[in-house]
Structure 1
C-alpha cells in the first residue's frame, strides 16, 4: 500500500485482492527468475520456450515445469518486436449473418493450430492495422468490404495474402475460389430437363465475383436450352434472408409467377420459402426454390442447393498462406469444386 492508501504494482510485485477484498503481494516472475530457479542462463530458458534443439530434453522439461508452477508466460508481443516477425494468421471477414464463415474459420484454425500458428479474427476497418509483418504473419481475406486497393498495398514478399473472393494480379496474393459456374450451370440444366421453362433469379451483391459467376452460369444454361430470359426476371438481393422475403413478396404480386426461383445463396432461398409457405403456396409443388452453399439451414429445410466444402476451403487457405509465409511460394489460382445437392424444394418435374 502506498502513502495515499491505494495499491500499485512495482517492478517485482503485483497487488492482488482475494474474495474478501484483502490485498497481498505476489512476486512477478520473469525470464531471469526462471533461469535462476532452473540453474541455467536466460538464453537457455529462451531457447527452451522457443523449441530450439540446443536444449536437452530433461532441461527443457524442468524449465517448462517451473514456468507452469510460477504462471510464467513469455512476452509474445515483445518477441515479435525483437524479431520483426509474428507467427499469427489474420482472417478478416465482414458478415456475421452468414453461417458458412464458421466452417471456413474452423478449417483455418485446424491447419494453423497443427502448424503452431495462432489465429487472429478481425472485422471492419481495424483490420488494416494488423496487416503488417510485425503484427501478423499474413492474411486470409473473405471480406467484400475490404478494398482490392488496400489488399494490394498491404501485400508484399514479407506479408503474403490469400483471398477467397476475388482475383488480384499481385505476386504476393494467392486466390482460392469456388468454382461457381459449373455447378450452377448443372443445376439450371437439371431444372430445364425436369420441364421448367419460367425462371426468376435472385442475386446477391452484384459487384461480387460469386454473384457474377452464378448469374452468368444461370443465363448460359438457359440459352443453351433455348429458353429466353428477360432482365425483368432478375431480382437484386444482398445475400441475407430479408432479401429473399422481399423477392417472394414481389413475385406473389406478379401475374405470371415463375415456376422456379433460383437464389444465389441459401439464406435468401430460406427467406423466399418462408414467405411462399406463409402465403399459401407449397414449395416443391406450387413453386420451386433453389439455393447455393449447402449450409445447415438448407439441409434442415430440404433446399436443393450447391454444396461448397467451406471447412476444406478454410483449411486449404491456411495451408497456402503458411506455405507462402515459410517460403514455399505458390501463386497459382486454385478453384474448389462444388456439387449439386437435390432436395424437396424442387418439384419432381413438369414433363
Structure 2
C-alpha cells in the first residue's frame, strides 16, 4: 500500500482499534490507555502513515453535540427518552445526534466510533452490547458515557436505570392479590439486562406465593409476542392473567387476545410493564407499571454535563422506581 493511499482507518484496522482512538493517539491525548497507544504507534510505523495536518486541525474543535444511542427507536420508551433528552439539550444550547442500534452489537460499535470521530461532548447509551470494547475506548478517549436503561461493564460510566425486578413484582403481586393463580409472563431477550431482571422479578414473586411461574418468549417485539401469546391462549389450561414485559409486546398480546375473541379483563387480565401514551386510550385502558422517563432523562443529562464540566470524576448510579398505574385491564379497577 502506498503512503498516499494509507488512511486513518487502515491504521485503525491494523491496530484493532477504532479510528477515533487512532486520532486521539495522534493528537497526544493523555487519556488514551498505554496499550492502545502502543498498538496505534506500531501500526503507524508499519504502514508509514502520515496524517493530514490540515484535516486534523479542523477536527480539533470539539462539537457542542451530545450523542444518544438507543437500542430500538420504534419502542415508545426510547422515542420518549430521545424527545426528553432533546428538549433538555436544546434548553442548554446543545445539539443531539441520535443513533439506533436495533439491538445489534455491530451497529453499536460503528455508531460509537462515529460519535467519537465527531468529537461529541458525551454519550447517553442504552447498550446492545454492555461489554463492547468501543465503550471503553470512548471513555479512554475522554468522552463521558452515561448508561441509560441498562448498565455497561466499564465501571467508569455513570448509570441511570429503573428497578426492573420490583416492577415485575408489583405487576405480578397485583394479579395474585386479585385472586389469580395461573399467571403467565410474556418476556424476551434474557441476555439483555431488562429482559432478565423482569423475568426474575416475575418468577420470584410467583414462587414466593407458592405458585408455578409460566413464561413465553416475545423477544421484545410485536409479532413475536402475538405468536407467543396466541400459543398460550390455544392451550386447554390457558392462563387467567398476563404480565407483559414491555409496551411493544403488549401490542402483540392485545392482538393475540383479539384473534382469539377473548375479552379483557372478563376472560383474561393483563398488566403491562412500561406505560406508553396510548395505554389509557385503548379499550379497556391498560393497567401498567411506568418508568419516570422524563426524570430519568433529566438525571442522565445532569450526570453527563457534570462530567463535561469536570465537576465530578467518580461514577454515579441512580436507580428509579416504577409507578403502578391501575386502570381497567387488570380487572381490579371498576370502569368509570
TM-score between both structures, scaled by the size of structure 1:
0.71
Pairs within 5 Å for 1:1-351 = 81-83=59-61, 85-124=62-101, 125=107, 126-132=110-116, 135-144=119-128, 148-156=132-140, 158-229=142-213, 233-301=214-282, 302-329=285-312, 330-348=314-332
Cα pair distance change 1:201/1:171, threshold 3 Å? closer
* Secondary structure, aligned partner of 2:219: coil
- For 1:195 and 1:150, locate their aligned partners in 2 and report how far apart those are by CA, in whole Å: 49
CA shift digits 1:247-302 (9 cap, x unpaired): 22101221100111111012212221222123221010101122111002322221
- Corresponding position of 1:14: none
Query: Contact 1:204/1:265 (CA < 8 Å) preserved in 2?
Result: no
Query: Contact 1:241/1:271 (CA < 8 Å) preserved in 2?
Result: yes
Where is the helix percentage greater, Structure 1 or Structure 2?
2
Mark the structure with the bigger radius of gyration.
1
Moved over 4 A (4+): 77-80
Gaps of 5+ in 2: 1-54, 102-106
* Secondary structure, aligned partner of 1:132: helix
- For 2:216 and 2:262, locate their aligned partners in 1 and report how far apart those are by CA, in whole Å: 20
- For 2:261 and 2:243, locate their aligned partners in 1 and report how far apart those are by CA, in whole Å: 20
TM-score between both structures, scaled by the size of structure 2:
0.74
* Secondary structure, aligned partner of 1:289: strand
1:201 Cα deviation from its structure 2 partner: 1.1
Cα pair distance change 1:80/1:105, threshold 3 Å? farther
- How many residue pairs get aligned? The number is 269
- For 1:262 and 1:294, locate their aligned partners in 2 and report how far apart those are by CA, in whole Å: 13
Query: Contact 2:290/2:323 (CA < 8 Å) preserved in 1?
Result: yes
- For 1:95 and 1:180, locate their aligned partners in 2 and report how far apart those are by CA, in whole Å: 18
Query: Contact 2:171/2:243 (CA < 8 Å) preserved in 1?
Result: no
- For 1:216 and 1:328, locate their aligned partners in 2 and report how far apart those are by CA, in whole Å: 37
- For 1:171 and 1:207, locate their aligned partners in 2 and report how far apart those are by CA, in whole Å: 19
* Secondary structure, aligned partner of 2:253: helix
- For 2:114 and 2:130, locate their aligned partners in 1 and report how far apart those are by CA, in whole Å: 13
1:170 Cα deviation from its structure 2 partner: 3.1
- For 1:122 and 1:228, locate their aligned partners in 2 and report how far apart those are by CA, in whole Å: 41
- For 2:324 and 2:57, locate their aligned partners in 1 and report how far apart those are by CA, in whole Å: 48
- For 1:290 and 1:224, locate their aligned partners in 2 and report how far apart those are by CA, in whole Å: 19
